[in-house]
Chains A and B, each alone.
Chain A
Amino acid sequence: RSSQADYHRTASDVHGGTTNMIDEMSARPIATGSSVVGMHFKNGVVMASDCRISYGSLSRYRDFTRFIKVNSDTVCVCNGDSADFQLLERTILEQVRSDEIENDGIQYSPIKLHNWLTCVLYNRRTRIDPLWNNFLVGGLQDGKPYLGMSTMLGQSWTAPYGATGFGKHMSIGKMRDFIEKHGVENITEEMAVKIITECMQQLYYRSTDAANEIEIYVVSGDGCKSEKTTLP
C-alpha cells in the first residue's frame, strides 16, 4: 500500500499492486480555474470566465486566459486544473495547425470540437486518470448558436445556457429564467453580455475562488471577439 497522502493514489492502489510505482496518477486538481458561464443569444453565443488561477488558497496567476480560440466560429473555455487545460490547448492548436497545413477547406466547428473533447475526457476518466476540466464549447454551427458542455467525467450535452463549478448553482437559474422569459430569438448581444456580466458579478460576490478580472468572448456572425473587463 502506498504510504503517500490519501489524495495521491498510485497505479498500484488502482490495479491492486500489479504495476510498478512509476505510473503515478494525481487524483486532484492542483492549479485551478474557477467557474465559467455561457449562453445563447440571437446571433451567437457569449461566454465568460475570470482570469485567475488559484493554487489552493493562493491566487497564483491573475492574468490567465482560460479560453481557447480555435477559429472564428469556435471557442472553448474550461474550469479546473490549468495544466490539463494547457495540455488540451496544445493538442487542439496543434490539430488546428495541421488542418491549416492540410488546407483542404475542412475546419473545426463547435460540434466537432465538442464531440472530440467528450471522447478524450471520457477516455481519460475510464483510465482513472482524468483531465480535471469541465469544458464549455461555444460558437456558430451552420450559422446557428451552439453551446456544448463536456464534464471531466465525459458527460456531454448541449443547451442554450451552461456553467461549470459554482456557476452551476448560482448562474444557471438566472440564465435559464432570462432565456425562458425572452426567448433566444429576442436576446441581443448587449442583453446577453449584460446577463453574463451579472452572473460573473454574482460569482465574484459569493465564490471564494472567483476574481473580478473577467474575460468575455462573443462568437457571432461578425466573428469572434473577446474583451477583458474588471468588475466593479
Chain B
Amino acid sequence: MDVDNMYEGFSFENCLRNTRLAEKGLKAKPYNKTGTTIVGLMFKDGVVLGADTRATGGSTVLSKDCEKLHYLAPNMYCAGAGTAADMVMVGNMIAGQLNLHSLNTDRPPRVVTALTMLSHYLYKYQGYIGCHLIVGGWDITGPQLYSIDSLGHYNDDVYATMGSGMMAAKTVFDARFKLDMEMDDAIKLTADAVAAGILNDMGSGGTVNLCVITKDKTEYLDHYRTICSKGPRQGDYTVKPGTTSLISSDVIQVVSEAMET
C-alpha cells in the first residue's frame, strides 16, 4: 500500500461519471431510505427510544416491518433515519468498535464514546453517509440522549425527534413533555409521538417499536403498538374438499429404477 497516496474518506471518483450519466438521462435507482419517525426521550430513570417500521424507496413502501432501533451496546441503542443500508452498516461498525473499546478499557461503554465515534465518522464523509441518529443509553454518568445528523453535528437534549415525521412527533413532545417523568408516562408519550408521525407523515408507517434503557436493564418492546391493523378476513376463502367434482380416476404405477452411482 502506498501510504503517501492513500486517500482517506469518501472517494468522489464516480461523481463526475454519475453527473454525465444523469445528463444523458440515466435516472438513479431510488435507494432504500427510511423516511421515518424516530424519537428519544429522557425520563427519571433512563431513556426511551422509539421508531416506526416503514422503509421507503422513492414512493414505494419497501418494508412494512423494518428495524430502526439498532443495538450498539447492552446499555445503548441508536435509532436511525436516513439511508437504511448506511444505518445498518454504521450501527454494526460502531457496535463492534464499542465492544472492542469496552474490552480494552475493561469498562462498560459510555454513550459519549459512541457519540464521538459516530460524529467523527460521519463528519469525515461530509454527509454522504445518510445517517440521522438518536443515540440513547444509560452509563456510569446517568441517562444520556443525543441526536446526530449526517454531517456530524450532535446535540444533547431531553427529547429528540428525527426523520421525516420529526415535526409531527415534536408537536406531541412540545405539548406534553415534562422533566423527570415516570417510566410508564414516558413510554406512553414516546409511543404517542411515534404514532403522530405514523399517522401524519407519509414516510412513516407500520408499528411502534420502543426500547427502554434504564440502569438495571434494557428492554426492547417490539411492536409495542399497532396503529392501523388490517382487520380480520371477512370471508372464508379456503377450498373445501369435494368442491371440484371427481369425474374419473386412473391409477398408473410408475416404475422407477434406483440409480447406482
Contacts and interface: CB of A to CB of B under 8 A. Distances in A.
A9 interface: no
Contacts of B196: 173, 177
A172 interface: yes
A202 B199 contact: no
Contacts of B171: 170-171, 173-174, 202
Given A173-B196, A177-B196, A206 B175 contact: no
Interface string A154-179: 00000000000010011111101100
A206 B168 CA distance: 11
Dominant SS among interface residues on chain B: helix
Most chain A Cβ neighbours within 10 Å, of B171, B174, B175, B200: B171
Interface string B161-173: 0000001101100
Contacts of B168: 169-170, 173
A202 B174 CA distance: 7
B199 A206 contact: no
Interface residues on A, range: 10 to 19
Nearest to A166: B167
A170 B171 CA distance: 6
B200 A173 contact: yes
B167 A169 contact: yes
A171 B175 CA distance: 12
Contact of B167 (A177, A198, A206): A206
A116 interface: no
A166 B200 CA distance: 13
Contacts of A172: 200
Contacts of A173: 168, 171, 196, 199-200
Contacts of B174: 202, 205-206
Contacts of A206: 167, 170, 174
Interface in A168-204: 169-174, 176-177, 198, 202
Nearest to B169: A173
A26 to B, nearest CB: 29
Contacts of A169: 167-168, 200
A206 B167 CA distance: 9
A202 B172 CA distance: 10
Interface in B162-200: 167-168, 170-171, 174-175, 196, 199-200
Interface in B147-168: 167-168
A172 B170 CA distance: 13
Contacts of A177: 196, 199
A176 B200 contact: yes
A225 to B, nearest CB: 26
B200 to A, nearest CB: 4
Nearest to B200: A173
Nearest to A199: B171
Most chain B Cβ neighbours within 10 Å, of A166, A173, A205, A206: A173
A83 to B, nearest CB: 29
B200 A202 contact: no
Contacts of B200: 169, 172-173, 176
Nearest 10 interchain pairs by C-beta: A173-B200, A169-B167, A173-B168, A170-B171, A173-B196, A170-B167, A202-B171, A205-B174, A202-B174, A174-B171
Interface of A: 166, 169-174, 176-177, 198, 202, 205-206
24 contacts: A166-B167, A169-B167, A169-B200, A170-B167, A170-B168, A170-B170, A170-B171, A172-B200, A173-B168, A173-B171, A173-B196, A173-B199, A173-B200, A174-B171, A174-B175, A176-B199, A177-B196, A177-B199, A198-B175, A202-B171, A202-B174, A205-B174, A206-B167, A206-B170
Given A176-B199, A206-B174, 10 more contacts: A166-B167, A169-B168, A171-B171, A173-B200, A174-B171, A177-B196, A177-B199, A198-B175, A202-B171, A206-B167
